[in-house]
Structures are given as C-alpha cells and as structure tokens.
Amino acid sequence: MLIKIANMILTVLAGIGAALVLFFIINKLAELLPGRWEDRVKPYVFILPAFAAITIYLLYPAVQTIIYSFANSDSTEWVGLDNYTNLLTSNGFQQTLFNTVLWIVVAPAVTVLFGLMIAVLADRLGPQGEKLSKTIIFLPMAISAVGAATVWRFIYAYAPEGQPQVGLQNAIITGAGASPIAWLEQNSFRINTFFLIIMFLWTQIGFSMVLLSAAIKSVPTETIEAGRIDGATERQIFGRVVVPQIWNTVITVFITVTIGVMKLFDIVYVMTNGNFNTNVIAVEFFNQLLTNFNTGAAAAVVVMLMIAVVPIMIYQVRHFRAEEAAR
C-alpha cells in the first residue's frame, strides 16, 4: 500500500516537474527572438502543448475512427457505407437505438425534476436537516458507476422459488407471500430498462440537487417577497418567480445529464451486459469491438454517437456564451 502511494506521489511530482521544465524551455526560446517578435510569438508558443495534446489525443483519434468506419472488420479493405447500412437495418441495433432514446427521454428529465424537488424540500428542513438530507442524497455520487451497479445487482438479484433470496426486492415480495421475480430479465414494456434507469437516478439526483439548490439560494429574496405581496401562492411564486430565474441552471443540468446518458456504459454493462433487450449504444460499441472483433462496425457506432452528441454540445457552448453575455 505504501509503495503504491509513493509511486502515485512520484508520478504526480514527475508530471508537474516535466511541465515546469517544458514551459521554462519554451519561455527561454521565446526570449531569444528579436524585438517585438517575442511578444507576438510567446502566447502561441505557450498554448502549443495544449493544442498538441488536443490534436494527438482528440482530433487524430476522431478522424481515424471516421476512416475506420468505412472499412471492413480488420480495417484492411474499404466497404463504403456497409457498416452503417448493416447496423441500421439490423433489428438488434434498432432495439439498441430505441433503448438509448428511452434513456435520453426519461433519465435527464426525471433527474432534473427530482433534483429540483429535493432541493426545494431540503431547504425547508432547517440548517441541520438540510445538511443531513443533502449529504445522504449526494453520497451515491462518491461511488463509481461500477461499484453502484454492483450494489444494485444485489437489490435486483433473483434466485428460483424455494431458494434463499439474496436480492432485497425479492426478499420483500417473497416475505409477503409472492413468487420471486427476475427483475432484470423482464423486458416487457422495457421494464428492466426502467429498473436500470432507477439505479442511474440514484447516482445522479444528488448532482442535480446540489446545482439546483445553489441556484435557488441565489434567487433574490426581494423578487420572492414582491410575489407574496402581490398575492401569489407559494406554488405560483416557485413556478413564475423562482424557476425563470434558475432556468439557465436547469438547462445546464439537463444537457450535462443528457450527454452522460448518451455515452452510458458502466451501468448497463455491469448489470446486464446489454442482454434481455437492455442494450445501449456504448455497450454495442464495446461488444462490436471486443466481442465480435469488428473494428468497422464499432467505429460506425462511435461515429453515429458523435453525430448525435455534437449538436447538443454546440447548443451547450452557445448557451454558456449567452449566459455569460447576459451577466
């Protein structure tokens, strides 16, 4: 354990030291330039490492992925749009897309709704009650997605009737005299997908609550008091006074959770591995690449995911800029 801690500290110190040496050398080279060229070149020289990192670790892999999406399974021959057409005409991939859309429609909206509701209710519990409730609700954010999914597998665990039920839900219903249910195998009306979404909400509502609670507390009390003087009810004050003033935060939380849902992998992979009609885009990519060893199809899945995510990210950037301009 001590060796691991020492290695971690040495790695951090080595990384910081290497960065300092790099920028020291860059600064010295810039100072060798004559006259005003130093001031002209130095800003670009200092951002060069960042641009190099973005190019190597982001732009190059993105371009290479797009190229691979038009090649065969081992990237040795061009196949045109075959990977895209095969995926989009496959019933299994169509079900995967439907599941992903279901996640996008349900999870972000419910996360924001419950986060907002809990933020409002927690604020009314008094200082001590507010701290305790928010701590408990935010606690799942400290657990990794894999760890949280492992915990919830025990909640949904199923054993045949007559055997001891380890799963919490089955222990409760069998204790009430009912038969145990294989919760994660119930794909009628996508019930098992909704059970996975419930687990996701358990991990994300704390994030939504913290941001929305901070936004609510920043609402000027004068506007709230003015609404009360005008005879508005508490519900009208919240809907017509508070919500419009925190709407930018609501949008930010919604978009952030939406992007997280679109690339969701850990929960589905650990809980079901995409079986029982619960597959999503990220798990499909993993299976295509490391189970089917089909590089072309895996790359095509990633490209389609990028095409879906980029417009949302562009909207988020524009939203941030508009919010900053309004301040």
pLDDT of residue 327: 66
Residue at a domain's end among 11, 39, 68 = 68
Do 114 and 57 fall into the same domain?
no
Q: How far apart are the C-alpha atoms of 200 and 310, rounded to whole Å?
A: 23
Of 68, 103, 121, the one marking the end of a domain is: 68
Q: Is residue 181 left, alpha or beta, with left meaning phi > 0 and alpha meaning psi from -120 to 50? A: beta
Query: Does some domain include residue 75?
Result: no
**Residue 76 falls inside a structural domain:** no
Cβ-proximal residues to 51 (8 Å cutoff; 6+ apart), any chain: none
Q: So what's the pLDDT on residue 6? A: 82
SS3 label, residue 276: coil
CA distances in angstroms from 77 to 66, 67, 267, 294, listed in the order given: 14, 11, 35, 13
- Tell me what the mean pLDDT of segment 153-162 comes to: 90
Q: Is residue 238 part of a domain?
A: yes
Token code pair at residue 55? 């190019």
Domain that includes residue 54, residue range: 2-68
Residue 235, domain CATH: 1.10.3720.10
- On whether both 40 and 185 belong to a single domain, the answer is no
Domain count, the chain: 2
Q: Which two tokens stand for residue 14?
A: 């080595």
Q: Are 173 and 155 in contact (CB under 8 A)?
A: no
Average pLDDT over every residue of 127-152: 88
Residues 53 and 119 in one domain: no
- Give mean pLDDT, residues 97-107: 94
CB 119 within 8 A of CB 127: no
User: Could you tell me if 297 and 73 are in contact, meaning their C-beta atoms sit under 8 angstroms apart?
Assistant: yes
With bands split at pLDDT 50, 70 and 90, how would you rate the model's confidence at 313? confident
Q: Are the CB atoms for 140 and 111 separated by under 8 Å? A: no
Considering the domain boundaries, does residue 39 fall inside one? Answer: yes
User: Which one, of 272, 262, 279, lies nearest residue 153 by Cα?
Assistant: 272
Residue 213 domain-assigned (yes or no): yes
With a cut of 70, say whether residue 295 has pLDDT above it: yes
How far apart are the C-alpha atoms of 11 and 94, rounded to whole Å?
45
Domain boundary among 68, 92, 114: 68
For 206-233, write each residue's pLDDT tens digit: 999 999 999 998 888 888 888 888 888 8
Shared domain check, 294 and 149: yes
Is residue 78, in this structure, part of any structural domain at all? no
Mean pLDDT score, 147-176: 90
Question: Residue 272: what pLDDT?
Answer: 92
Give 251-279 pLDDT, tens digit per residue: 989 999 999 999 899 999 999 999 999 99
Specify whether 99 is located in the same domain as 49: no
Specify the pTM.
0.85
Q: How far apart are CA 200 and CA 217, in angstroms?
A: 26
Give yes or no for a contact between 66 and 224, defined as CB atoms under 8 angstroms apart: no
Could you tell me what percent of the chain has a pLDDT over 70? 99
Query: Hunting for tokens 């909704």 — which residue is that?
Result: 194
27 shares its domain with 96: no
Single-letter amino acid, residue 107: A
Q: What gap in Å lies between CA 183 and CA 20, rounded to an integer?
A: 54
Residue predicted with more confidence, 275 or 23: 275
Could you tell me which of 136, 86, 116, 53 has the C-alpha nearest to residue 254?
Answer: 116
pLDDT for the residue numbered 299: 95
Query: 118 and 198 share a domain?
Result: yes
Burial status of residue 159 (CB atoms within 10 A of its CB: 0-12, 13-18, 19 or more): middle
Task: Based on the fold, state whether residues 222 and 312 are members of the same structural domain.
Answer: yes
The alpha carbons of the chain give a radius of gyration, in whole angstroms, of 26
User: d(Cα 85, Cα 96) in Å, to the nearest integer?
Assistant: 15
Q: Per mean pLDDT, which range of 58-62, 125-129, 237-241, 296-300 is the poorest?
A: 125-129
77: left (phi over 0), alpha (psi -120 to 50) or beta: beta
Reported as a single tens digit per residue, the pLDDT across 39-72 is: 777 788 778 888 888 899 889 999 999 999 999 9
Give the other-Cβ count within 10 Å of 158's Cβ.
17
Together in a domain, 21 and 118: no
pLDDT band at 1 (very low <50, low <70, confident <90, very high): low
- pLDDT at residue 322, as a whole number: 78
- Residue 100 in any domain: the answer is yes
Residue 43 lies inside a defined structural domain of this protein: yes
Q: Any idea which residue has 């009390």 for tokens?
A: 221
Q: Please tell me whether residues 173 and 204 are part of one structural domain.
A: yes
Residues 286-304 have a mean pLDDT of: 93
Q: State how far the Cα of 289 lies from the Cα of 18, in Å rounded to an integer.
A: 35
Domain co-membership, 244 together with 170: yes
The CA distance from 178 to 165, in Å, is 12
**Residue 97 and residue 208 in one domain:** yes
